Amino acid sequence: MNYRLAGNQVKPESGPAIVIGISDIAVTTDPSACLVTYALGSCIAVAMNDPAARVGGLLHFLLPDSSLDTARGQSNPLMYADQGIPLLLEKVLQAGGKSVKRTHLEL
């Protein structure tokens, strides 16, 4: 798939753009979809992809460790890496990812 820059946004040449907000997650089995996040700044995005199963996901989190604020970690686990990354992996596997060994993780 090819992508183009339109203003300050990346747009896929074909297929839907799935926008992931802050403390948000998305997983898709649509090979034409483009997972996009904005406003990273000091935040981090983690992408997982199982190319054989054609499943991909993206997590946009703010902080590394939910023990910094346990109440907030319980109400919004996607805000923290220690809770969000396992949830991303779980969702990728639920969507058809077959093996943790085969799943590719990018930071």
CA 86 → CA 12, 83, 91, 95, 98, distances in Å? 28, 6, 9, 14, 15
pLDDT per residue over 21-78, tens digit each?
A: 999 999 999 988 889 998 888 899 999 988 888 999 999 999 999 998 999 999 999 9
Active site annotation includes 43: yes
Residue 90, pLDDT > 70, answer: yes
Q: Which residues in 14-42 are b (16+ Cβ under 10 Å) and which e?
A: eeeebebeebbbbbbeeeebbbbbeeeee
pLDDT at residue number 52: 86
Buried-state track 95-106, b at ≥16 Cβ within 10 A, e below 16: bebeeeeebeee
Instruction: Report which DSSP code applies to 80.
Output: B
Per annotation, catalytic residue among 19, 22, 33, 43: 43
Mean per-residue pLDDT, 102-107: 56
Q: In the prediction, which pLDDT does 10 show?
A: 61
